[in-house]
Amino acid sequence: MNTIITDKTYKKLVIQVALNGFSFCIVDTLSDRTKMLKNIHFDAFQRSANISDLFSSVFNGNPELVEKYDEIMIVHSNNLSTFVPVALFDEDYLGSYLQYNTKVFDTDFFTFDKLEKYEMNNVYIPYVNMNNFFIDKFGSFEYKHANSTLVSKLLDVSKNNDERKMFVHLSESHFEIVVIQNQKLHFFNSFDYKTPEDFIYYILFTAEQLQLNPEVFKLEILGSCTENDTYYSIAYKYIRNVQLFAISNAQNDFSVAENREHFILLHS
């Protein structure tokens, strides 16, 4: 990256990649405000294409992606991650931490993000083919997993709150359940789903295992969800205290709904 002060652009590019989409935002690092946000959804036909061809078409259609930036962050969004306390962590056995909640192969590449403030690491499998594309485009960049941002930011906002609270982050094909109490992570898992019934089943099952009473505990939903969604409605039917995640002190001019949907991208 540029290090000579006269070459600095004071801009940061953050790209969030998944199998079903490509989102990016541009941050003015002087004011720490996000100036641009764009979300590109891949349909089933596009997902069958070669990643290099698909991403090349995105870059060709968005000239902002080829401008100069002081920092570039790639955020990998998938459900191939797990959190490990530092006391139980051994970098030589990364694959072993994931084998209990996902199918792993000898050819998989494993890496991890450090959440030093919370004394744990997020072990995950990044999209290697996507990283290879970005190496060709940018040369150098940093990357991390979406759940590292999600969990660390939710832990931050739980400070001095002694209630155990459940957060659900909803994506198109999977969702994460995070249970937190005063900056302590009590539970994290990611679930594939297809129907509202799948969605509420995993929430209620998790609540039962953690002895959280649906009449008492608080559930906050973020990601791709509004109060008009069937997923919100079914949660509201079975859980007394449900609300959309409250957005405060947003460093941008985007809507509350956009900030909630792109919470991970905008905090990376």
> Tens of pLDDT along 37-57?
999 999 877 888 899 999 999
| Beta-bridge mates of residue 85 | 120
Query: How high does pLDDT run on average in the chain?
Result: 94
Sign of CA dihedral 40, 256, 63, 30: negative
For residue 45 the two structure tokens come to 């036909």
pTM for this structure?
0.94
Residue 267 pLDDT > 80: yes
Q: 3 falls in which pLDDT band (50, 70, 90)?
A: low
pLDDT higher than 60, residue 12: yes
Q: For 201-257, how does the pLDDT look when each residue is reduced to its tens digit (9 = 90+)?
A: 999 999 999 999 999 999 999 999 999 999 999 999 999 999 999 998 888 999 999
Q: Rounded CA gap, 128 and 110, in Å?
A: 10
Residue corresponding to tokens 């920092």:
71
Kindly indicate the confidence band of residue 77, based on its pLDDT and cuts at 50, 70 and 90: very high
CA atoms within 13 A on the CB side of 78: 18
List, in sequence order, the alpha helices (H) in 100-159.
128-138, 146-157
- Distance between CA 147 and CA 81 in Å, rounded? 8
- Rounded to an integer, what is the distance from CA 189 to the centroid of its chain? 13
Pairing of strands 120-124, 81-85: antiparallel
